[in-house]
Amino acid sequence: MEEIIIKEEQNIRIDAYLANKKEISRENIKRRLEEENILVNGKKVKPSYKVQINDLVTIKEEEVKEISLKAEKIPLEIIYEDTDILVVNKEKGMVVHPGNGNPDGTLVNAVMAICKDTLSGIGGEIRPGIVHRLDKDTSGIIIIAKNDKAHINLSEMLKNREVEKTYIALARGIVKENEATINMPIARSKSDRKKMSVSKEGKEAITHFKVLDRFYNNNVTLLEVKIETGRTHQIRVHLAQIGYPIIGDEVYSNGKNKWQIQGQILHAKSLKFKHPITKKEMYLEAKEPKYFSEIIENCKKEEKEN
């Protein structure tokens, strides 16, 4: 147990104060305040509580829980690695986190085998520090934090929209605009809890896209997509909402396509960000899957032939 007596700071939110002083994420602090593992003057307070001089902040130590997940030697394409972060190109069809029906064979299991003991323990558990996710059938670039400080800093950067994420997608239909922005809030669907939908009650979601190529013979458009926010299924929901669902998407479209591809043809192409520890400017790219590039080449070939 640790005790801190406020000496000088005052009128600062308890979550902001501790995040700065202890290098703990604000989400972690919020949870521990709710669980009464962090008390002020022996009492439970909200994250918005503003600390005052002579306040006594008590922080109970969290037990580190061993997890039952197994490390598995699964081939991964490593794009970049240092002592703080690991960046990989996730394959289409690979689940990021274990869950019901997917206890193994996930990115987490693969990362555990590569990083062994050097993964962030945010949340009081020894678990892989994946700070953002990709859907099962979305391939591409994803960052793993190797320590708590990198995890906290990356989480804050994502929250503050300081990470530029760029995707490429093959959409059904010929998109008329050369580029546009979709600003529509997204929430959990009330009719199907497994789906997301555009809703006035949802959270802000902003997607920018521009046309890379139009393939009239196949009635599809190749898009470059950048997202400011990271809502669940954001790109898939937004493109379907404006009438250009992603080819292969079985949730937000019918999934049917001449190439018999299952799951959305969507690839996380690149990330631009400052290294969470060194602050060096980083730009990393993940090569699109072979099937994706072959489809594009075939589309281009058919355009020339007709």
Q: Has 249 been annotated as catalytic?
A: no
DSSP letter at 231? -
CA angle 176, 182, 188 (to 5 degrees): 130
Neighbours of 274 (CB within 10 A): 15
Distance CA 83, CA 143 (A): 13
Interacting residues of 273 by C-beta distance below 8 A, sequence separation 6+? 154, 157, 162, 163, 164, 282
Annotated active-site residue in 135, 137, 148, 249? 135
Neighbours of 208 (CB within 10 A): 15
Distance CA 252, CA 64 (A): 40
Structure-token pair, residue 100: 């019901």
With CA atoms as reference, report the closest residue to 107 among 83, 126, 132: 132
Distance CA 174, CA 244 (A): 8
DSSP letter at 160? T
**One-letter amino acid of 10:** Q
Question: Residue 28 CA to chain centroid, in angstroms?
Answer: 18
Q: Which residues are known catalytic residues?
A: 135
